[in-house]
Amino acid sequence: MADAVRFGDFAVGQRFRSASLIVTADEIKAFARQFDPQPFHLDDAAAEAGPFKGLAASGWHTAALTMRLLVEGGMPIAGGIVGAGIDELRWHRPVRPGDTLYVESEVVEVIPSANRPGQGRVRVASRTCLADGTLVQSLIATLVVRG
Amino acid sequence: MADAVRFGDFAVGQRFRSASLIVTADEIKAFARQFDPQPFHLDDAAAEAGPFKGLAASGWHTAALTMRLLVEGGMPIAGGIVGAGIDELRWHRPVRPGDTLYVESEVVEVIPSANRPGQGRVRVASRTCLADGTLVQSLIATLVVRG
């Protein structure tokens, strides 16, 4: 894992890249059973006839896997990754069983706290991609970064 | 569950309310182990010293539970809930073990498809609240609605 970055060391344009993981059909269905129990995330046959023309991960599963990749070294922030909010979360194409995902992130804004020197917020654009670079999800996160 | 709503029956200002669920400490830790393995979501003692001053659910867990409440009757759309993207996702306060959550949603925009009559996109503002109405999360979802 990369060295953790403190607020004062963030700068616009910095880039980070995560490790990668493989999404399985069992994981897609297990997430869906708990959080998004719709036929096209749960059952192969129903998914063929559904809007994604085959089994696809819940968008919230892709978002949660993105967070895991960021926490496990993809966004090394001292004190951890604490989000205040997310803008422009977009799902560009379905995530399928067997897909490999990684996340590349770029710092787009650094906002010092008005009353806490050395702390503030950092806005980061994160792109979740397949192994060949195809974009599957994008978002902009506003992170609270302590000193 | 309410009757499913077709695209032609959506109108700005319509409101929907989900059932409710209770979040447990075990669920908070299980989600965090899979998707957001940071000490303040995993371990009671570490969480006391962390940014939330006690165990708190990952924001992505709150988002996933919100989806479950929407799928299980909170947003009854014919053909299912298919999201193109999310704007202005905000976490307003931590979700704690034992909290009861429900979701209230309001249609804020109805956008007919340019080339598919009777289909289109619906923008919905969803507020995830505690039993007493305290806001914990808000978002605006853009949903793809078939005929």
Q: Is residue B68 situated within a structural domain?
A: yes
Token pair for A78 = 């001292």
The reported pTM is 0.96
Is B1 part of any domain?
A: no
Q: By percentage, how much of chain A surpasses pLDDT 90?
A: 90
Contacts of B39 in chain A (CB under 8 A): 80
Share of chain B above pLDDT 90, in %: 90
Report B:66-125 residues touching A (Cβ under 8 A).
67-68, 71-72, 79-91
The CATH number linked to B117 is 3.10.129.10
Do residues B113 and B128 make contact, with C-beta atoms less than 8 angstroms apart? no
Domain membership flag for residue A24: yes
C-alpha separations of A121 from A23, A71, B52, B119, B132 in Å:
31, 17, 16, 40, 30
Q: What's the mean pLDDT when you consider all of chain A?
A: 95
In a domain, residue B81? The reply is: yes
Q: Is residue B22 part of a domain?
A: yes
The whole-angstrom distance between A72's CA and the closest CA on chain B is 8
Could you tell me if residue A2 is inside a domain? no
A52 domain residue, yes or no: yes
Is A1 part of any domain? no
Q: How much is the ipTM here?
A: 0.95
For B83-137, how does the pLDDT look when each residue is reduced to its tens digit (9 = 90+)?
Answer: 999 999 999 999 999 999 999 999 999 999 999 999 999 999 999 999 999 999 9
What's the number of domains chain B is made of? 1
Q: What is the per-residue burial (b if ≥16 Cβ within 10 Å, else e) of A14-31?
A: eebebeebebeeebbbeb
What secondary structure does DSSP assign to B51-119, as a single string? TTSS----HHHHHHHHHHHIIIIIS-BTT---EEEEEEEEE-S---TT-EEEEEEEEEEEEE-SSSTT-
Range of the domain at A49: 7-145
